[in-house]
């Protein structure tokens, strides 16, 4: 029964969102401000539901209850229990996102009974001149940072990065950051929805209200030092597994394929995000099609994973 599993996207309207998720990836949205498509989520209240096949309409938590280690892998079950450890998204930033950061595991557990939020970004497309904010442009003190918030000069302290298709960034907890306008990206992160927003350009929501800021919570969670630890360089050899990110929470590989490949069994589940082209992906229980902007979960019980394509780029995510 554990065939390649595709899930119904969970679409999120955001003040800064646009229409690229609908226009380019055919996400089922009628909104002009769809900012996020949650592709695979175990976040309470937003648990992914299987889109097709015999397990259609079952949610991810149901599958974990039913199949346990056959779905996740025994080491994942031992480490995380029945909590799915990864949240997979596509993000369309028509406008700049708020300046924000995420707490580490200890703070998130203490304050929110949640995982922390370590994440990575793979830029799929970027308008000319598009940028990301990642970290400070120099070491700052807590007092200097607070003064910049009061004076409205925070942007002068931040580090801006130009981006293009394929640019990849690793965002560890505590690092101040923001996705800039005109960026379409894939995001891989710990299962968490805890964000500390520190500056939002004084924007108002559709009711005319300023969005909540988390100024005090952010102070204890923030890393005020300048660190050049966020740009990810990775090989791009065709029809090979190219390592991008390895961290305690997830491992991500880049696959650029133009021929059939078959991978043997693995100890844990594998996730494939299609960031360009199209493919079919199968195991001993079934087959799924995968086009740009789609995601599939391959169960740990897969005896093999076969990918057939005339050309695609995939992100392979494991734990």
Query: Using one digit for the tens of pLDDT, what is the confidence trace for 80-89?
Result: 999 999 999 9
Q: Which residues are annotated as a binding site for Zn(2+)?
A: 102, 119, 177
Give pTM, 2 decimals: 0.96
CATH 2.60.120.10 domain span(s) along the chain = 10-221, 242-318
Active site residue 204: no
Tell me how far apart the alpha carbons of residues 64 and 71 are, in angstroms, rounded to a whole number: 7
Query: Using one digit for the tens of pLDDT, what is the confidence trace for 72-82?
Result: 999 999 999 99
Per-residue pLDDT at 207: 84
Look at the domain 10-221 and name its fold.
Answer: Jelly Rolls (2.60.120)
Residue 73, beta-bridge partner list: none
**Residue 240 CB neighbour total at 10 angstroms:** 13
Question: Which of 24, 197, 203, 270 is labelled catalytic?
Answer: 197
Q: Which residues are annotated as a binding site?
A: 102, 119, 177
Give me the chain's average pLDDT, please. Answer: 97
Query: Using one digit for the tens of pLDDT, what is the confidence trace for 264-296?
Result: 999 999 999 999 999 999 999 999 999 999 999
Per residue of the chain (319 residues), what is the pLDDT tens digit?
Answer: 899 999 999 999 999 999 999 999 999 999 999 999 999 999 999 999 999 999 999 999 999 999 999 999 999 999 999 999 999 999 999 999 999 999 999 999 999 999 999 999 999 999 999 999 999 999 999 999 999 999 999 999 999 999 999 999 999 999 999 999 999 999 999 999 999 999 999 888 878 888 899 999 999 999 999 999 999 999 999 999 999 999 999 999 999 999 999 999 999 999 999 999 999 999 999 999 999 999 999 999 999 999 999 999 999 999 9
Q: Does the domain formed by 242-318 have CATH 1.10.530.10?
A: no
């Amino acid at each position: 029964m554990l065939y390649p599993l595709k899930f119904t996207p969970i679409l999120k309207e955001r003040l800064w969102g646009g229409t690229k998720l609908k226009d380019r990836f055919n996400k089922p949205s009628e909104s002009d401000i769809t900012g996020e498509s949650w592709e695979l989520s175990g976040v309470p209240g937003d648990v992914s539901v299987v889109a097709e096949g015999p397990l259609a309409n079952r949610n991810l938590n149901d599958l974990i209850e039913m199949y346990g280690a056959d779905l996740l892998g025994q080491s994942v079950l031992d480490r995380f229990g029945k909590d799915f450890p990864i949240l997979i998204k596509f993000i369309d930033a028509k406008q700049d996102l708020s300046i924000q950061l995420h707490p580490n595991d200890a703070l998130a557990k203490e304050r929110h009974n949640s995982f922390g939020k370590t994440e990575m970004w793979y830029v799929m497309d970027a308008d000319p001149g598009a940028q990301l904010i990642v970290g400070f442009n120099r070491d700052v003190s807590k007092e200097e940072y607070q003064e910049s918030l009061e004076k409205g000069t925070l942007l002068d302290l931040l580090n801006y990065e130009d981006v293009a298709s394929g640019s990849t960034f690793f965002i560890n907890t505590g690092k101040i950051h923001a996705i800039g306008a005109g960026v379409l990206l894939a995001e891989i992160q710990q299962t968490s929805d805890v964000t500390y927003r520190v500056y939002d350009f004084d924007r108002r929501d559709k009711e005319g209200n300023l969005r909540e800021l988390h100024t005090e919570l952010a102070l204890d969670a923030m890393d005020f030092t300048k660190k050049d630890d966020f740009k990810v360089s990775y090989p791009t050899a065709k029809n090979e597994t190219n390592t991008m990110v390895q961290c305690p929470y997830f491992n991500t590989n880049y696959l650029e394929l133009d021929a059939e490949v078959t991978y043997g069994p693995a100890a844990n589940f594998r996730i494939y995000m299609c960031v360009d082209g199209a493919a079919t992906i199968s195991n001993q229980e079934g087959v799924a099609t995968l086009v740009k902007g789609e995601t599939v979960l391959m169960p740990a019980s897969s005896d093999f994973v076969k990918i057939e394509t005339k050309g695609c780029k995939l992100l392979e995510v494991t734990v």
